[in-house]
Structure 1
Amino acid sequence: MSATAICLFASFFILLFLNVPIAVALGLSTVITMFAFELPLPSLPSTMFSSMTKFTLLAIPFFFLAGLIMERAGISKRLIAFAQAMTGHYRGGMAIVAVIAATFFASMSGSGPATMAAVGAIVIPAMVKQGYRKDQSAGLLATAGGMGIVLPPSIAYVVYGVVAEVSIGKLFIAGIVPGLLMGLCLAITGYVIARKYDIPTLPKASRQEKWKAFKEASWGLLAPLIILGGIYSGLFTPTESAIVAVFYGLFVGLFIYKEFSLKEIPGLLIESAKNTSMIMLIVAAASSFAWLLTVEGIAQDMANMLMGFADNKYTILLVITIILLIAGMFVDAISAYYIFLPIFLPILVAMGIDPIHFGVLMTLNLAIGLVTPPVGLDLYVACGLTGLSLKQISKGVIPFLLVAIVVLLLVTYIPALSLWLPGLMD
């Protein structure tokens, strides 16, 4: 490894160890390395600026805003009520409710933490009331919240598509089966836990109660069909779909459920802007880090080193999976794309690995990173919702985390799980 690479990565990990924010650590380690090796610093501002001015990234603030509006509009609680009416009377029914609600909200918000916050605030107390341990309930919701970046529309896929220069629409389609598979496996795990601890079921809803719950939730159920159907039919692009989601949420909140007022819009715009600014700061800093990896040949050298370590794509995929699982413990998904894709993309080309398939498996890896300490963002959201410590939440997440890793390995070594649907669309 070259002296430039050692300086870049050593300074980055030292800053992370000192608890410096990820965006600052990425940018500062780049500047330190460029200054130490007398590289042209004036090129850095233009690189950072150009990384944030890509049209596709406009989807990020609008998906954030859409998620906030749909939560305030009362869509999430109606989806939960509908799921409870349909499955609450089965063994492990509340766990199934949690997963179904997370699946639907994920397909509207595109964000793991947003899904965790919107669904967990309602479902976790209900699961605890039924007999689940609080740490188990939080662990299930934290892991299910990770589906927010696996299922479309996903902010993570938008960033991956920009960095890897692949079709975001195809990434969205490719994420459907793996996301649903993860949801199914999490629901089964919840069912097994319910049987083990003999958790009682809820009373069975009558046909009238089911119909009423369906009517109440129908506008929420339509949201993913409108958003994803518009993308797949070619009616609008993934970026435009985020704007459609915002106006759909406003329409439902203002005129259908009437739980949302125009007075709330400025506050939601500010909150969305705050979330977006944090993401864009990471994008700018991470793109400068990735730029240095590329121009100094560090990425190619590391790719060659990895390819020398293994001579077939299956071993390479296992090595990459281990690297990403470890990385997910310390860096967020967006930073990981910019740091690792310049290294991994040459390997994909050389090994004949489909970049759409790799986008899904990399996103699954990083979804697992949302529930692995010490920097698992969904764990901290769960701590805030439940009042439990990070240690307690981490214990509760273990069975669901193991199931998620099994799904990851299936998606990694069975490419058809992610490539079958995009193949049908071609």
Structure 2
Amino acid sequence: MDSKTPGLFEKIESAFSVFSVALLCLLPFMQLISERLFHIPVLGIEGAMVNTAFLFACFTAIITWRKQKHICIAAIDEFAPDAVKKIVNALKAAVISLVLTALFFSSFSEFFAVFGPDDKIWGVPLYFFFGVLPLAYGVMLVLAVMQKKNIAFSVLGIVLGCLISAGPIGGLFYHLFNMESPAFLSSIDLFWLDFSAKAFPYAVVLFIVFAFLGVPLFIVISAVSYVAFSQGGGYVEMLSLEAYSILTDKSIAAIPLFTMAGYILSKGSAGSSLVEVFKTCFGWFKGGFLVAAVVVTTFFTTFTGVSGVTILALGSLLTIVLTGAGYSKTRAESLITASGALGLLFPPSLAIIMYGTTNYFSVDVFELFKGAVIPGSILAVSMIVLGIFFDKDTHRIPFSLKNALHALKHAAFELLLPIFIIAGYFSGFFSLFQAAAFAVLYTFCIGVWVRRDYSFKDAVSIIVESLPVTGGVLAIFGAARGLSYYLLDANVPAVLSDFVLSFVSSKYLFLFLLNCVLLLVGCLMDVYSAILIVSPLIIPIAESFGIHPVHTGVIFLMNMQLGFLTPPVGMDLFIASYAFDTPIVRVIKGILPFLLVQFIVLMLVTYIPFFTTALL
């Protein structure tokens, strides 16, 4: 993938994405005003919003690919000799081209069958929206081939991709030329279906290896899904159908907007304003600055949904604040890193939205929000208490009511944002989508016209800059949904449940084993992939032991945020190493006390359900 693409193309894709963001923000408010104030329903607006969100997801996936920002597991081959790296990069180029080719043909074939000419939204045929998906795969494939270093292997991948796409290509012959699939294509397709059935377990292992070599996770998940559907009968077009299904879900559409709101906040003066509030209000007692650091990092992660963004955006600022208060640099960086993922447990947590949406038959998003509040609060308090234990500085800032009020006044708009969102959503005034749109418009207006942190043009540039963050997450959603569908269709949860029950009879032993497995998952997978793929598998098993679905959900999310910090491959460890310019070994050493305390809290929440069910 060559990041040096033509300027015109880059401007077009960015402009379209920003236009999509504007629509995603304005359409919910059009609905709110029309239906709340005038009691006039706007026909088709729900479909317009979710299909606009789908277009946005496709274009941001392209932007993320061009900028090489798709979510990956840290590549272990980076430590290999140059000769080994060249071989690995060549193999990666072949695999990436192979998978993108297969995805292109499977989605292009389905383009002709998924919607009829009468299926329209505001006069626009729905197949127009769906057609952007194969376009996105095609553009990413072209960008992959443009990496000239391994063009021969990329071409080899395309050839292999065409061979395993014989079924969808045969479908194109039918849709385009009204003729049956040529005999040679049918023969190739039958050979592939038979081969995939025999090689399935080996293919899964191979693709997992490629994940550790740095192949983007959505490519790896898509590859496993493609082989799974091939060996299960060949209906690989389900991958594109499921991607469209999840990316046109209203709750999912809210996620990139919340992420964008957090990103806009992190680029302005909001961080320093909030830190100043907590410095003046709590800096007079021991640990006051620690309260500021934990609350601010938690606040930002609730909106960005990605703890790494919080560490990168606020890590340096909070380190200066804590070291200025006499805290050691190592302890300061460790506290910030350990607190980065706490926001996953507080409204409007994107992870909770995702979990509830994925498992809507078992658990409600609203109930999950309530169930996670107490565990999240305990975790936050534990980080503060441990931080205070390490705080040996005796210097304190005298409390000044005048300074405190001035700081509160200056940060009033930032402090009101979560209040508006939580009150609006939980009262029923806002839908989740409307709350997300409000968050973007609110933060945009604050940064441009109230704080004047940046000009209108700069704010648009910040939105463009945030697109790879959202694009990476949305690509994972689309890929993982197909695999999740296959697992459910193959009745894997029931099989897995029977298997576990045959060996484990104790509820408490099951909970311990569940934590061990989820902690490993949290280390190796991003939270959104884990939610889509793993959570549907564990819920039926947990229910067979009489565990409340909300309790299961909170345990799952706590393990995910703890997995970000768990050595040796916790994602936040690498992000902290980059953000603080500190060797990874030193980051791990500093994080261990905080990791231990969070694990103890996890065990408390696991074995005392009261913490998750008290507010239900």
User: Quick check: TM above 0.5?
Assistant: yes
Per-residue deviation at 1:36?
Answer: 5.2
Deviations 1:19-71 (A, max 9, x none): 32222221112223444565432333222332322121111110111102222
Is 2:369 the counterpart of 1:175?
Answer: no
Match of 2:240 among 45, 48, 70: 45
Letter in 1 for 2:245: S
**1:58 aligned partner, one-letter code:** A
When the two chains are superposed, the root-mean-square deviation of aligned CA atoms in Å is 2.3
Counterpart of 2:387?
Answer: 190
Q: How does 1:347-386 map to 2 (within 5 A)?
A: 347-386=541-580
State the alpha-carbon separation in 1 of the partners of residues 217 and 348 from structure 2.
25
The alpha carbon displacement at 1:101 in A equals 1.8
Deviation at 1:317, TM superposition (A): 1.8
Alignment of 1:145 onto 2:340: yes
1:58 is aligned to 2:253: yes
**8 Å contact 1:5–1:298 — kept in the other structure?**
no
Question: Secondary structure at 1:19's aligned position in 2?
Answer: coil
What one-letter code is carried by the residue in structure 1 that aligns with 2:307?
G
Distance, in Å, in 1 between the alignment partners of 2:303 and 2:245 is: 29
Q: Deviations over 1:159-218 (max 9, x none)?
A: 111111132222223222221111100000001111xxx334332242222221122122
Write the letter of the residue equivalent to 2:270: I
**Long gaps (5+) in structure 1:** none
In the TM superposition, 1:232-311 aligns within 5 A as 232-311=426-505
> Paired residues, what number?
418
How far apart, CA to CA, are the structure 2 residues paired with 1:176 and 1:114?
A: 22
What's the offset of the Cα at 1:136?
Answer: 2.1
In structure 1, the partner of 2:412 is 218
Tell me the residue number matched to 1:133.
Answer: 328
* CA gap 1:402/1:262 in 2 versus in 1, 3 angstroms: same
In the alignment, residue 216 of structure 1 is paired with which amino acid? H
Q: CA deviation at 1:96?
A: 2.5
Amino acid at match of 1:382: A
1:123-170, Cα deviation, whole Å (9 max, x unpaired) = 112223444333322221111111121111111111111111132222
Out of 101-110 and 341-350, give the one that drifted further.
101-110
Q: Which amino acid aligns with 1:335?
A: S
Kept in 1, the 8 Å contact 2:302–2:350? The answer is: no
Deviation of 1:105 (Å) = 3.0
Q: Contact between 1:108 and 1:153, CA under 8 Å: does it hold in 2?
A: yes
Aligned equivalent of 2:215: 20
In the alignment, residue 19 of structure 1 is paired with which amino acid? Answer: G
Comparing 79-88 with 258-267, which one deviates more in the overlay?
258-267
Give the residue type in structure 2 aligned to 1:180: S
Paired residues of 1:137 and 1:396 also in contact (CA < 8 A)? no
Deviations 1:274-310 (A, max 9, x none): 2221111111221122222222233322222222222
In structure 2, the residue matched to 1:331 is 525
1:10 aligns with 2:205: yes
Q: Are 1:135 and 1:395, in contact at CA under 8 Å, matched by a contact in 2?
A: no
Classify 1:94/1:137 alpha carbon distance in 2 versus 1 (closer, same or farther; 3 Å).
same
1:228 and 2:422 aligned: yes
Gap change, CA 1:282 and 1:53, over 3 Å in 2: same
Question: Which one scores higher on RCO, CA 8 angstroms, separation ≥ 6?
Answer: 1
**Identical-residue share of aligned pairs (%):** 28
Contact kept in structure 1, 2:483 and 2:533, CA below 8 Å:
yes
Partners of 2:494 and 2:204 lie apart in 1 by 15
Quote how far apart the aligned CAs of 1:235 are.
0.9
- The TM-score with structure 1 as length reference comes to 0.91
Matches of 2:314 and 2:242, distance apart in 1: 38
Offset at 1:378? 2.4
User: Equivalents in 2 of 1:210, 1:292: separation in Å?
Assistant: 56
Q: Distance in 1 between matches of 2:365 and 2:293?
A: 28
- Evaluate the alpha carbon distance shift between residue 5 and residue 193 of structure 1 in structure 2; reply closer, same or farther with a 3 A threshold: farther
Q: Shift in Å at residue 9 of structure 1?
A: 4.7
Q: Distance in 2 between matches of 1:382 and 1:228?
A: 30
Distance in 1 separating the partners of 2:285 and 2:203: 54
Aligned mate of 2:225, from 27, 30, 38: 30
Aligned residue among 345, 358, 368 for 2:539? 345
Structure number with greater Rg is: 2
The question of whether the paired residues in 2 share the 8 Å contact of 1:16 and 1:22 is answered with yes
The 2-side partners of 1:25 and 1:229 are apart by 40
Tell which deviates more after alignment, 60-69 or 95-104.
Answer: 95-104
- The residue matched to 1:329 in structure 2 has which SS? helix
Asked whether the 8 Å contact 2:480–2:529 carries over to 1, the reply is: yes
Contact 1:93 1:201 in 2 (8 A): no
Instruction: Write the letter of the residue equivalent to 2:492.
Output: I
Query: Residue 281 of structure 2 aligns to which amino acid in structure 1?
Result: M
CA distance in 1, matches of 2:595, 2:284: 26
Report the equivalent of 1:91: 286
Could you tell me how far apart the structure 1 residues matched to 2:236 and 2:566 are?
36
Q: Secondary structure at the match of 1:175?
A: helix
Q: Which structure 2 segments of 5+ residues have no match?
A: 1-196
Alignment of 1:72 with 2:277, yes or no, is no
SS at match of 1:89: coil
Question: What is the CA distance between 1:396 and its match in structure 2?
Answer: 1.0
